[in-house]
Structure 1
Amino acid sequence: MTPAFISRTLHKAWQRKGLLSTALLPLSLPVLAATAYKRRRYQRRPDLVYHSRLPVVVVGNIYLGGTGKTPVVIALIKALQERGWRPGVISRGYGVKVGDQARAGTGNLAATEFGDEPALIARTTMVPVSVHPSRVLAIKRLQKSYPEVNIVIADDGLQHLVLGRDIEIVVQDARGIGNGRVMPAGPLREPASRLQSVDYLISNLHDDLTPPAGIASMARQLSMRLTPDTVTHLVTGASLDWASWHARHGAGPISAVAAIGQPERFFSMLRAAGITLDRACELPDHDPYETSPFTDLTSPHILITPKDAVKCERFNDPRLWVVHPVPTFSDPDWLDSMDQMLRFIAAKKQTMAAQRGKH
């Protein structure tokens, strides 16, 4: 059994309270207890929480596996840049050994040193990125190395409670909260009640899927749909808008490869955009691409995700094209709302810092 098969089986079982989920339910009790203890500890000991002098926005999820956080992070960064902000990003750096000190950089970062998602964010937005399993070490390094940064976006880290945050964004998909149980009986990292305290809840949908059932929450709830925007030839860097690429190559045999949390979401987006896939190959999320998965594919054109592209350049395969999606939000005003909130938060933090400086 492949990891992809096991993942599909579990995620299917997690959509209902069936026999497998119920059998695993006793194993979820320690998770519930640990989650509750952790939250109570930081509530009772606020001195343990690190609060940055800058506004901090956490983009995360409570559902195991990919829900589409990275497109939201990139869209948020670009929106903030357009509104005059100078963002920086912190992340765990999944899959890489960072060491005792946080690692920071900007521009064309290597996925082997920063992780695939941080490398993608850095290349796409050109903002500074700092990675470390300790988000506190990451944010301190970011602030020290890039003093021009005036807002911090935490890519993931919703459950990293030692990091103080001003705004929380949770990204889910059409699966919503699944069967509502925490792992391993269900897909949740923490109880669904956690959604009651977040600021924004974004549902990442594809095709004609409807949003999951609404959550009783004060959060501003909206949906996001991704569509192909541009396509870049990985070897030459040549770029075409989606309509032009489709007109030139869309009729021929085409394959697609994805090593993301939910590969089918990428394949469905391509099919909805008019592509008939000869092969659709799923790889485990964050696959390191130690060997080329493309050698067995005979299609003259192979479509991959931007997240995979940062790890596939070394193959120098002229058949690879990177599909860059663009998000459309059901509530386009949410970014303006966030901008206003952040300006208020930044002003308040500056005032508090000035008052502390007088004492």
Structure 2
Amino acid sequence: MALTDRLLDAWYKGHPALALMRPLESLYRRVVNRKRARFLAGQSERYKAPVPVIVVGNITIGGTGKTPLILWMIDHCRARGLRVGVVSRGYGARPPSLPWRVHPQQPAEQAGDEPLLIVNRTGVPLMIDPDRSQAVRALLAQEPLDLILSDDGLQHYRLARDLELVLIDAVRGLGNRRCLPAGPLREPVERLQSVDALLYNGAATDHADGYGFQLKPSALVNLLTGERQPVNHFPPGQALHAVAGIGNPQRFFNTLEGLHWRPVPHAFADHAVFTAQALSFSPSLPVVMTEKDAVKCAPFAAPDWWYLAVEAVPSPAFVSWFDSQLNRLLP
């Protein structure tokens, strides 16, 4: 088991050795709290965009479903007639320069897997830069927009924001509720008291302190041909190789089991770089992966490689709340 996997296991299931990391956690908490206080007090420069900025982020290490929710928000805002853009850090991207405008069909190693997925799916104007304030400036210089969504960036205080949404895995929760390196939190749990809304990925109903949303499988898409098939394309009991290079691979494997298939799990690191050789599995079975992984594997895909497209389905209460916020921000 890789070190990151062992740490995740310890953070969410417990391990006595984590007590040794508490002095480092204390130092980390002080640094994080001072950084946030410095920006909020105006002691460090913050960029305030001329249009509303909505940050979709988390305080935990690991995947919480930000990208599917961003895709839903893009569609929802466009249905209201809004011109929406997206900014992202572009984790793992190696563009020729920064800020970098992501266009469909760019190489994933240049654009980053998540930004490329978003642009391929929606065609939305999207700019990547670790300095998200720079990304917003560059995007607004190229596009007339009404609203900007920041994919992650909750801790990037250089960019002022009008709304903060935090996603939490409904099953794993906040683990041991401790900060790095003694736990999975990027910021102390008290930070959640200052955000505008919490969304629990995988929750069938709303929580007392937040909203539920679920990821619903919508189609199987062939990497080589683009052919779309319904999720009952494979019969119940079908054995297949399941590939997931995401923050929480087990959630993907559970989804495949929920479709009554028999996945042989192959978990990779989040944002992993794939090769055809690494995905040459035995025995010969169909390969099903996440859409995020598919954007990196399409150039060398085999005929029986598929990705499972999923759609975020937020609760009606969240949709109503979000619409009220859009009405407030964009009168």
Shift of 1:153: 0.5
Contact kept in structure 1, 2:217 and 2:308, CA below 8 Å: yes
Alignment-mate amino acid for residue 246 of structure 1:
F
Q: Does 1:270 align with 2:267?
A: no
Contact kept in structure 1, 2:276 and 2:301, CA below 8 Å: no
Q: Does 1:167 align with 2:163?
A: yes
Contact kept in structure 1, 2:54 and 2:148, CA below 8 Å: yes
Give the match for residue 179 of structure 1.
Answer: 176
Identify which of 293, 297, 302 aligns with 1:308.
293
Identify which of 311, 315, 326 aligns with 1:342.
326
CA deviation map 1:229-257 (0-9, x unaligned) = 111111111111213x134xx55431111
Identify which of 86, 110, 113 aligns with 1:89.
86
Shift of 1:302: 0.9
Q: Write the distance in 2 (CA, Å) between the matches of 1:262 and 1:310.
A: 18
Contact kept in structure 1, 2:98 and 2:128, CA below 8 Å: no
Percent identical: 35
Q: Does 1:60 align with 2:57?
A: yes
Q: Write the distance in 1 (CA, Å) between the matches of 2:260 and 2:281.
A: 24
1:1-359 aligned at under 5 Å gives the runs 2-3=1-2, 6-15=3-12, 18-45=15-42, 48-98=45-95, 101-147=98-144, 149-173=145-169, 174-205=171-202, 221-243=210-232, 245-247=233-235, 250-277=236-263, 279-329=264-314, 331-347=315-331
Shift of 1:291: 4.7
The number of residue pairs the alignment matches comes to: 330
Provide structure 1 residue ranges, at least 5 long, that are not aligned to the other structure.
Answer: 216-220, 348-359
Q: Secondary structure at the match of 1:32?
A: helix
TM-score by length of 1: 0.86
Q: Secondary structure at the match of 2:234?
A: helix
Shift of 1:62: 0.3
Contact kept in structure 2, 1:88 and 1:153, CA below 8 Å: yes
Contact kept in structure 1, 2:102 and 2:115, CA below 8 Å: no
CA 1:9–1:90: 2 relative to 1, 3 Å: same
CA 1:310–1:191: 2 relative to 1, 3 Å: same
Contact kept in structure 2, 1:90 and 1:155, CA below 8 Å: yes
Contact kept in structure 1, 2:54 and 2:149, CA below 8 Å: yes
Q: Write the distance in 1 (CA, Å) between the matches of 2:285 and 2:275.
A: 22
Contact kept in structure 2, 1:101 and 1:132, CA below 8 Å: yes
Contact kept in structure 2, 1:104 and 1:145, CA below 8 Å: no
CA deviation map 1:272-317 (0-9, x unaligned) = 111112x110011000114542212333311011000100011131
Shift of 1:99: 6.0
Alignment-mate amino acid for residue 284 of structure 2:
S
Q: Write the distance in 1 (CA, Å) between the matches of 2:27 and 2:94.
A: 28
Q: Secondary structure at the match of 1:88?
A: strand
CA deviation map 1:204-262 (0-9, x unaligned) = 128x9x99x865xxxxx11222231111111111111213x134xx5543111111011
**Alignment RMSD, CA only?**
2.1
Q: Secondary structure at the match of 1:288?
A: coil
TM-score by length of 2: 0.93
Alignment-mate amino acid for residue 198 of structure 1:
V
Alignment-mate amino acid for residue 52 of structure 1:
A
Deviates further, 190-199 or 89-98: 89-98
Shift of 1:67: 1.6
Deviates further, 318-327 or 160-169: 318-327
Higher CA-based Rg: 1
Contact kept in structure 2, 1:182 and 1:191, CA below 8 Å: yes
CA 1:340–1:115: 2 relative to 1, 3 Å: same
Provide structure 2 residue ranges, at least 5 long, that are not aligned to the other structure.
Answer: none
Give the match for residue 351 of structure 1.
Answer: none
